[in-house]
Amino acid sequence: MSEETEIDWYENATQPGSADSTEILDIVPRGVGREARNFHRQIPGYRQTPLKGLNNLSEMLGLGGIWVKDESQRLNLNSFKALGGAFAIYRFLKQELDREDEEIPFEELKADAVPGDLSETVFATATDGNHGRGVAWAANKLGYRSVIYVHENTSRARIEAIESYGAEVEIIGGTYDDAVEQLSQDAAEQGWQIISDTSWPGYEVIPAWIMQGYTTMYVEAQEQLAGLGFDRPTHVFVQAGVGSLAASVLAYYEGLLGEDRPKTIVVEPSRAACIYESIREGELTKFGGDLDTIMAGLACGETNPMAWEILKHCGDYFVSCPDFVAAKGMRVYAVPVEGDPFVVSGESGAVTLGLLTFIMEHPELKPLREGLGLGPDSQVLLLNTEGNTDPIYFRRVVWEGTNPVPDKFRLLKD
């Protein structure tokens, strides 16, 4: 990879901020977080993931607080992704059973408890790693087959993690977007049920269910913040691949708080910045190239069209980050300021913390800092979306210093 040293940002000056946007509430309705959480609570092994306070780092950076929702501890899966995949499978099965108005117990959704044809359902998806693992895990828990398509640059560790839940893994040449396209063709021929976190014409319902499933995280975070004396975060930094996670955060807080929602900062790799480019252009724009970034879970060249409707209405700032930003975030989590908790965070999980440190410390990003209004009264929420999902690369970054901070961004100089 060639070195890139620019952190680019764009303020969404055209976003209307309508709290009553029909499009937004159709995709992530108010109150759906309660339904999602009620379902997730039934899953064997469910427990609320921790909200970790980086109190000493926040003081060092001149912030009121930094709060990390640590999804590396979600259901022993190292990622939040199962929340969306499992909830989508739940909603699909409820629909097929004609029991959409009921809350169905987890045990009644298992393959050996549903009618014959439904019990033979094969759930399929394309993935950069974590979403596929979540779908494979959910299918396995319920006794269904799963087929997961990955692109050719997916690491062996991520493939083996998916296979550990009994999934059949198909490796497709090209990028994540190529895997999505191939899956849509093959699933139609084979009769598989796609559980994808991106949408296309005629396939919109399940991606919306996936976004709704993610809201369990925010319901938990709001309860945890309330227990600490805060009614809401003032800022939310959220990473984006196809944009489904980011859109779900924005839609949740739009529905909950309207114009009082937190300021939102959507963060992408500079080598896969499809949302950033779309916002700049004012329309959906495909990001070209090989999407070669260490942030494997965010290496997507096309934005989920459903997510786009939310992002363009509710997103405040959009940031494109080189890989060294994520690498620094991993190291800051792994070697915390004395007294702060240790957090295991992978490349995609750590980019938001890395960006926050640069915004608060580097003179070139002062306009962004001021535009966001970050300061001593700010309570910043970060989502650590993944733990150590690729152990070899994790050690390269944290132990060996891969993707170091370039000289122009270094503050601790010799």
By annotation, the residues acting in catalysis are: 81, 128
Would strands 235-239 and 145-151 be described as parallel, antiparallel, or unpaired?
A: unpaired
CA angle 254, 125, 273 (to 5 degrees): 55
What DSSP string runs through 135-168? HHHHHHHHT-EEEEEEETT--HHHHHHHHTTT-E
Distances (CA, A) of 243 to 106, 238, 272, 302: 29, 10, 12, 9
Q: How many CA atoms lie within 13 A of 257 on its CB side?
A: 17
Exposure on the CB side of residue 22, measured as CA atoms within 13 A: 0
CB neighbour list of residue 110: distance below 8 Å, 6 or more residues apart: 142, 143
Q: Which residue has the tokens 């393959």?
A: 111
> How far is it, in rounded angstroms, from Cα 219 to Cα 300?
27
Nearest to 319 by CA among 292, 351, 296: 351
CA distance 271 to 1: 10
